[in-house]
Amino acid sequence: MTAKPFKLQTLIAQAAGGRVVRTAFIEADEIDRRMLHNDEIKSVMAGGFPDARRVVLTLHPAHIPSVDSGVTVYRVTPQTPGWDAQDFGVALRRAGLPEDALGDVREDRSSFLVAATGKAAKTLAELTALGGREVDIEEVGESAGRGAKVREVVVPSMRIDVVGAKGFGVSRAYFQQGVETGKVRLNGQVARASAEIREGDSLAAEGLGRIDFRRVVNETRRGNYKVELNVEK
C-alpha cells in the first residue's frame, strides 16, 4: 500500500497488526529510525542507492521472513547526447511520472540512473522516448550500489568521523570535510562530527555509501574497539 501523508507511528501499528505497509518515496531524514526498533515488526528501507536521500520504507509483521524493497533502479540512456542532469529531470517530470514514485536520479557517464516504485517503475520500463529523444532502458535491479561487505575494523572511539573514515577506507580529514558540508547523515539526520554511532545505527555519506553498525566485537588491550560493520558502496 502507499501511505499519505507519512505517519510512522500509524504504519508501525498497522504492521504490528498483521499488514504489510509501504510508503511512497520520502526524505530519509523524515524517518525516526529509533521507532523501528520494535520486536513486533521488521522494516526494509531502500532508495536504490546506498546513500539515497529519498527512500521507500516497507514495514511488515515480524513473523514474515522478508518482503521485497518495492524499488527498482533503471538505467536510461539517450540515443543522442546533450542532456545534463537538470534537463533529464525536467523531461521526467514532463512525462507525467508521479513525483512521489520517483527517487534519486544519478548521472552515470552518458546515462542516468533512476530509482522508481509503483506506476513510475512500470512506466519507465516501457519507455522508448523521453522529452522528444529516443532512449534505451535497462533494469539495473533493486540497487545501483557496487555491493555490500561485512568488515571488522579497529577504532579508538565511536565518533562517526572515526568509524566512517575507517569503514569507507578514506582519511579522517576527508570524511570530516563531508560532515562539515552536510553530506553525512546518521540515522537519516544531518550528522555532527562529534556524534557517536551505536549498534543498529546507519551512517550514510554522499558519494561513499552507507555503513550499518552491526556490533562491537570486543575491546582491545590498548582500549580500542573492534567493531563489525556492513559497508555498502
- Residues 54-106 have pLDDT tens digits of 999 999 999 998 899 999 999 999 988 778 888 888 888 888 888 899 999 98
Q: What is the pTM of this model?
A: 0.72
* CATH classification of the domain holding 167: 3.10.290.10
* CATH classification of the domain holding 106: 3.30.70
Contact 73, 140 (CB under 8 A): yes
Per DSSP, the chain holds a count of helices (H) and strands (E) of 5, 16
Residues 92 and 42 in one domain: no
Domain tally, the chain: 3
Task: Work out the average pLDDT over 22-36.
Answer: 88
Residues 170 and 191 in one domain: yes
- 67 in a structural domain: no
pLDDT of 25 reads 95
Residues 76 and 102 in one domain: yes
Torsional class of 194: left (φ above 0), alpha (ψ -120 to 50), beta (otherwise) = alpha
pLDDT of 52 reads 87
- 66 in a structural domain: no
- 26 in a structural domain: yes
Residues 135 and 153 in one domain: no
